[in-house]
Amino acid sequence: MQRISLSPTFVLFSGYNDRAVVALSRFFVQTNLSWAIVASGANDVIHRTLYRDRVVFSRLNKRVDLDLFAAISNAVGGPLVLCPTTEFMNKFLLDHRDAVVGLRTSVEGRQGAIDAGLPSSKIYARLTGKFTSQVLVEQLVGLKSPPLLPWPPKTAPCVLKPHDNVAGSCVFYPRLCLTGTALQEALQTLDPILGPKQWFAQAYVVGQSYYLCGYLTRQGERSWYWQENLLQQPGGKSILLARSCETPGLDADALFDGLASLGYHGPLMMEVIRDGDGVLHYIEINPRFWGPLQLALNLCPQVLVLFVRDYGAEVPDVPAPAPSPTPHWYSWAQGAAVGNCHRYPAAVGFGPLTENAPILIEHDIYAAEDTRALHRCF
């Protein structure tokens, strides 16, 4: 893959994973880097933020093809790095990497190529695949996943997971089936013939959820932190409240060493759950930027520094905040409006955690001046 020699412009696709887009936008402002936003359309919430002037292109529809990237290259120019924030876009870029990278940009004399900002297709697929990643993680650090169940599973609770996250134009997410009714409804929506080829079942583990969040460079340099999850949308969707924490007992260096030996580089968020007996279980890895990325900006900005340096940007180290007995917090208040959210054991004693809870309001990612119009309404 051709490396970028000039300082690049980082491109964000908004309208998806908006909280990560906002956190990255804040980082680019702080570091005075060149960056641009491709909006998902006229109703994209990015237009209600102070970053609306960074929108260089607005899509007319959700279609993703080479014409879209040609239009982006014509609108921005110079060497470009596409920030990995969504699974669907990453899948397209990996499938069409040569064609996208081959799109030369030339605007106002700035010439360069487009970098997809991703590792090889092979290692990306092993990490993002729900089944392949659990085999890999056990090989690298000995961390086991919840037990597999026969297909189709007969009783709840259990979790149905897709082998492939993206198929055609569809993105698949795990299905948490906590009751027999939920399980039967989920199974009825799956193809009865392709079901066991597209999906597999695992036991549902009750316990405390943690995220390992970090970045691994091409040279094997890494930076990471741990996040303790407190509140999550139903069905295993977005994290609504979290705080920084110490390691729950996993050797993160060993994991990053193993991934580096396989040729992986890029952002990484791995979830583990510690059950009532203190046993850690591997859940999944997302080899892309994650929703609660604001915690990285507040707690461990070196994660983002390593990312931009990996693609030719010259930025100094950003020192981590001084150690403090007080944790760093993250929340998305309005996301709790869906109701029936899942409280993890570490949230015991917090009182009601609705969208109006003071702790969610205080730490809401949208409470800052740049996104004030979204605070308590998005």
Say yes or no to pLDDT of 206 above 50. Answer: yes
> Are 124 and 287 within 8 A, CB to CB?
yes
User: Looking at the domain assignment, is residue 138 inside a domain?
Assistant: no
In this structure, are residues 231 and 240 in contact, taking their beta carbons and an 8 Å threshold? yes
pLDDT at 7: 82
Detail the DSSP E strand segments found in 217-340. 222-232, 239-245, 266-275, 280-286, 329-331
Residue 112: the pLDDT is: 66
CA dihedral 55, 16, 165, 215 (to 10 degrees): 70
Neighbours of 49 (CB within 10 A): 26
Give a yes or no: residue 100 inside a domain. Answer: yes
115 and 98 in contact (C-beta within 8 Å)? no
Domain end, chosen from 103, 118, 133, is at 118
Tell whether 173 and 229 lie within a shared domain: no
Q: What's 36's domain CATH number? A: 3.40.50
How far is 260 from 196, CA to CA, in rounded Å?
A: 32
Q: Are residues 183 and 269 in the same domain?
A: no
Q: Does residue 221 lie in a domain region? A: yes
Q: How many domains does the chain have?
A: 3
CB 240, CB 232: distance < 8 Å: yes
Residue 137, domain member (yes or no): no
Q: How far is residue 110 from each of residues 6, 116, 314, measured CA to CA in Å?
A: 10, 18, 18
Asked whether 285 and 270 are in contact (CB, 8 A), the reply is yes
Is residue 168 in a domain? yes
What percent of the chain lies above the pLDDT cut of 70?
Answer: 95
The verdict on 243 and 369 lying in the same domain is yes
Beta bridge partners of 335: none
pLDDT in the model for residue 3: 44
The two structure tokens encoding residue 241: 């409240």
Same domain, 41 and 167: no
Distance CA 328, CA 138 (A): 30
Give the pLDDT of residue 2: 41
Q: Are 366 and 256 found together in one domain?
A: yes
Residue 363 and residue 218 in one domain: yes
Whether residues 272 and 300 fall in one domain: yes
Residue 104's pLDDT is what?
Answer: 63
Asked if 286 and 233 sit in the same domain, the reply is yes
Q: Is 135 contained in some domain?
A: no
Tell me whether the omega of the peptide bond preceding residue 152 falls within 30 degrees of 0, making it cis: yes
Measure CA 23 to chain center. Answer: 12
1 belongs to a structural domain: no
- Which residues make beta-bridge pairs with 226? 212, 245
Q: What is the pLDDT of residue 5?
A: 47
Pair (264, 157) in one structural domain: no
Domain boundary among 156, 176, 204: 204
Average pLDDT, the chain: 92
Q: Write phi, then psi, for 13 (nearest 5 degrees).
A: -100, 110
Q: Where are the alpha helices (DSSP H) in the chain?
A: 18-31, 66-76, 87-95, 97-101, 121-128, 130-141, 180-188, 195-198, 252-261, 294-299, 302-310, 358-362
| Average pLDDT value for residue range 342-359 | 96
Burial 250-281 (b: 16+ CB within 10 A, else e): bebeebbebbbeeebbbbbbbbbbbeeeeebb
186 and 281, same domain (yes or no) = no
Q: Kindly report, residue by residue over 170-201, the tens digit of the pLDDT.
A: 888 999 999 999 999 999 988 766 678 899 99
Run of H or E residues at 115 = strand 114-115
Rounded to whole angstroms, how far apart are CA atoms 303 and 10? Answer: 16
Tell me, yes or no, whether 261 and 360 share the same domain. Answer: yes
Residue 174: what are its φ and ψ, rounded to 5°? -55, 150
**For residue 160, which of 192, 187, 188, 127 has the smallest C-alpha distance?**
187
Q: What is the pLDDT of residues 132-172, one digit of tens each?
A: 999 999 999 999 999 999 999 999 999 999 998 888 778 88
Please give the residue range of the domain that contains residue 72.
Answer: 9-118
Q: What is the CATH number of the domain that holds 346?
A: 3.30.470.20
Nearest 10 degrees: Cα torsion 133, 136, 138, 144: 20
Q: Are residues 265 and 351 in the same domain?
A: yes
For residue 139, being part of any structural domain is answered with no
Residues 6+ apart with CB under 8 A from 22: 49, 51, 294, 365, 366, 370, 371
pLDDT (tens digit per residue) in 87-110:
999 999 999 999 998 886 544 445
